[in-house]
Amino acid sequence: MKTLNDFNFNTKKALIRVDFNVPLDENFKVTDATRIEAAKPTIDKILADGGSVILMSHLGRPKGKEEKYSLKHILTKTSEVLGKEVKFAEDCIGSVAEEAAKNLQPGEILLLENLRFYAEEEAGDVDFAKKLASLGDVYVNDAFGTAHRAHASTTIIAQFFPNDKCFGTLLAKEIESLNKVLKDSEKPVTAVLGGSKVSSKITVIENILDKVDHLIIGGGMTFTFIKAQGGKIGNSICEDDKMDLALEILEKAKAKNVQIHIPVDVIAANAFSNDAETQIVNVNEIHDGWQGLDAGPESLERFKKVILESKTILWNGPLGVFEMENFAKGTIALGEFIAEATEKGAFSLVGGGDSVAAVKQFGLEDKMSYVSTGGGAMLEMLEGKSLPGIDAILR
């Protein structure tokens, strides 16, 4: 696996695919600069070598050239985070981009305009990739969030740099962390899968059953498993068409000696609202008109015991509707158990939009071994799929 450390960037122009698809408010101000901060170590190393940096990214889902999706809106914040003035090219290919790249001096940073202003980017167009490639000497992919897409700037472009391509610090760390869970894990290994749908996690569950000792199932998925086993779930969310599959998963787990842990009690509410009436009930006995919205205290005690005995922990998906304060307790407690296990030497990897949002919201981010930046890409790796953006560098 070629990384930045395999190159000296002195006098070289590094063309870096970053993921600066950051949220903006109505005044086009960046509201969360995490993704820009995540790319800083890669950029710093190249500049320290005496190289220059050309950044390329997408922002949003523009239809053609749309002013509101221009990357010029993030220029000030990017300069601030990198501690250096960032130049801007009002196009990503053609004479404007070529001129700006040609004039770039060692130690300087250039940000290209939104790649998705061109339909060729998402189409994986070879000619478009070639035009991008002409701007730099070395290609660096540091965008894990888009590594599962075979786009021009994430995958196709790599062929124009047969010997001069590598992973950036962030992407290398993502691969390393996932491999630590999937390939080189210290046992016992526990995976916590939450969220609302079994259907979105089926392939993940099937792929990781060979790699884990314990599987904790939480969130809305719980009720598909409970109903499949004959439990009463009231008005709780359930995928009736996935009940056979849930039973199949339980059978497979048993055959592979994987212990599955499903909540035994829940916080049930008489409406999907933070102000609803609540009661703690057995997960099998939720009354009609009531729905389970968080894991109950007995479940949390059981989960705690499993987590604290684990040496490797993967967490993807919340245990309840954590966006509502009254149903966030389970997710917060789980995060705290994982933080405690991590402090005692376990390796913990958190990934997937909701889990990442939860650890940030509840101040637990720094207490985890690694928090992944790419939801979709991470899920695909957990499903055992190969990611085109990663394969293109390994070729």
Burial class (CB in 10 A: 0-12, 13-18, 19+), 54: buried
**Helix 221-228 / helix 243-255 crossing angle, nearest 10 deg:** 80
Choose the catalytic residue: 2, 353, 360, 384: 353
The CA-CA-CA angle for residues 291, 294, 298, to 5°, reads 110
Active site includes 197? Answer: yes
Task: Evaluate whether 316 touches 261 at the Cβ level (below 8 Å).
Answer: no
Choose the catalytic residue: 17, 35, 45, 367: 35
Binding residues, as ranges, are 19-21, 35, 58-61, 116, 149, 201, 292, 323, 352-355
The residues, ordered by sequence, that sit 6+ positions from 163 with a Cβ below 8 Å of its Cβ are none
Choose the catalytic residue: 40, 72, 180, 197: 197
Binding residues for ATP, as ranges, are 201, 292, 323, 352-355
Binding residues for (2R)-3-phosphoglycerate, as ranges, are 35, 116, 149
Residues 70 and 76: their CA atoms lie apart, in Å, by 13
Tokens representing residue 8 in the block: 């000296």
Binding residues for substrate, as ranges, are 19-21, 35, 58-61, 116, 149
Task: Give me the residue label for tokens 């004479």.
Answer: 95
Q: Is 315 helix (H, G, I), strand (E, B) or coil?
A: strand
Active site includes 219? Answer: no
Residues 58 and 65: their CA atoms lie apart, in Å, by 12
DSSP string computed for 228-291: HTT-EETT----GGGHHHHHHHHHHHHHTTPEEE--SEEEEESSSSTTS-EEEEETTEEPTT-E
Active site includes 17? Answer: no
Task: Evaluate whether 309 touches 336 at the Cβ level (below 8 Å).
Answer: no
Active site includes 130? Answer: no
- Amino acid in the structure at residue 76: T
Active site residues: 35, 197, 353, 376
